[in-house]
Structure 1
Amino acid sequence: MDNNLKTIIEKRIAKTIRNLEKNNMQACYVESRADAVNKVRELMSEGQTVAVGGSMTLYECGVIDLLRSGRYRFLDRYEEGLSRDEVEKIFRESFFVDTYISSTNAITENGELYNVDGNSNRVAAICYGPKSVIIIAGYNKIVSDIDEAVDRVKRTAAPANAVRLSCDTYCSEKGECMSLARGETGMACGCSSPARICCNYVVSGYQRVKDRIKVIIVGEQLGY
């Protein structure tokens, strides 16, 4: 990366971290995806029960490989051969784990996490249940404010995830949310497809339980 661009990005990251900390979330910056895995290892103890939210970032970083190493009791939603009922059981058991690991759809420079979910097991666990929540995000997830976060999901995160999950939605076909084509500005505006992945919208601001949520910002572009 060009050093001048890196300097600007790191300034945005530093501002974001300061505001996450003001919102009672622990936050740090690591330069690489390998460093992110090492940080996750630092934040957990061997033998802990761990679950994850659906995330390309966790695969790209190597976090899934870490969790499958045998050091942890991993409730592996991605294990081959699981039935839908077995996956749903893992989703429910995830509320009682020691550590829940996920990415986020966006992080604002004001120190807020913005997440949109279809099944909503991910946003539910971020909000309540697991003793500790670790969020890993590339710097590409940083936005100025909630309005930009909403736009990011409609133009990038939701369409890409809809394609990844083979969802028959407007955004997977056209590459953006239907609401943008219609000129609708509401956060929850969108299609009425049974396969819609944008059903519940959560902004995580100031936290009552200090440092329950731990945010690792990575100096690489990761996920959608």
Structure 2
Amino acid sequence: MDKNIDKRIQETMENLRKNNMEPFYCETIQEAQNLVKTLINKGDVISSGGSATLKETGILDIIKGDDYSYLDRTRDGITRAEIEQVYRATYNADVYFTSSNAITKTGYLYNVDGNSNRVSAILYGPKSVVVVAGFNKIVDNLEKAIERVKTVAAPQNTVRLNCNTYCAVNGHCVSLDIPNSHMSDGCHSDGRICCNYVVCGQQRHVNRIKVIIIGEKLGY
């Protein structure tokens, strides 16, 4: 690991800890998989948000295992009504897994969501929230976090989700082409995924949110 990257990770972890979130560092995906198994218990009800990182790391496969009761909103044949039931059942889950669109060196999580089941579960409901992210999601501050979503996370996720948006076609948010714009000004697509913007700062519930940073580039 490059010394500058290592310093960046350590600073981020220190500030997450100050904000009452419990940080972990894993050099490899295998280490992260082993850690995850210590953070969940047999019989736990587990849910997760849509995440390329969880798939890439194999953590999604772990939490879907027979030892746990996984709330699966992507199973074959599921109806829209059943998906809505999963969203609501998630608030009573023991553990919720997700990634984060960006993590600032100052110890904040920044997430932007369309349907917003993901950000709502991060904020309230599940007893424990486990955020898994590659070191590439660490940014200097909230301004850089917003920029990352507009130029990396949103464009790549809209492509993944087959959304017909400006950023899916052009690789960046339309607001970047508009002088003095804010948030996602100029985007009125029905497929827009940037609807609610959430910053997680200092938490009241100490260590409810756990953040696993992996020493590899992962996700969007």
What stretches of structure 2 of length at least 5 have no aligned partner?
A: none
Amino acid aligned to 1:123: V
Aligned mate of 1:118, from 111, 114, 122: 114
Mapped pair 1:153 → 2:149: yes
Residue among 201, 206, 212 paired with 2:202:
206
Identity %: 51
Query: How does the TM-score come out when normalised to structure 2?
Result: 0.97
| 8 A contact 1:188–1:201 mirrored in 2 | no
- Per-residue deviation at 1:184? 4.0
Decide which moves more: 109-118 or 39-48: 39-48
2:147 partner letter: D
User: In the aligned structure 1, how far is the partner of 2:133 from the partner of 2:195?
Assistant: 22
Q: CA deviation at 1:76?
A: 1.3
Q: Give unpaired runs (5+ residues) of structure 1.
A: none
Give the letter for the 1:35 counterpart.
Answer: E
DSSP 3-state at the match of 1:210: coil
One-letter code aligned to 2:99: S
The equivalent residue for 1:180 is 176
Offset of residue 189 of structure 1: 2.7
Aligned residue identity for 2:26: V
Alpha-carbon distance in structure 1 between the residues aligned to 2:111 and 2:180: 20
SS at match of 1:201: strand
Map 1:18-37; keep pairs closer than 5 Å. 18-37=14-33
Judge which range, 71-80 or 176-185, deviates more.
176-185
Q: CA deviation at 1:67?
A: 1.6
Alignment correspondent of 2:165? 169
Q: Give 3-state SS (helix, strand or coil) of 1:78's partner.
A: coil
TM-score (norm 1): 0.96
Q: Which of 88, 92, 102 in structure 1 is aligned with 2:98?
A: 102
Which residue in the other structure is 2:140 paired with?
144
Q: Is the 8 A contact 1:101 1:133 kept in 2?
A: yes
**Other-structure match for 2:126:** 130
Please state whether the residue corresponding to 2:169 is helix, strand or coil: helix
The RMSD of aligned alpha carbons is 1.0
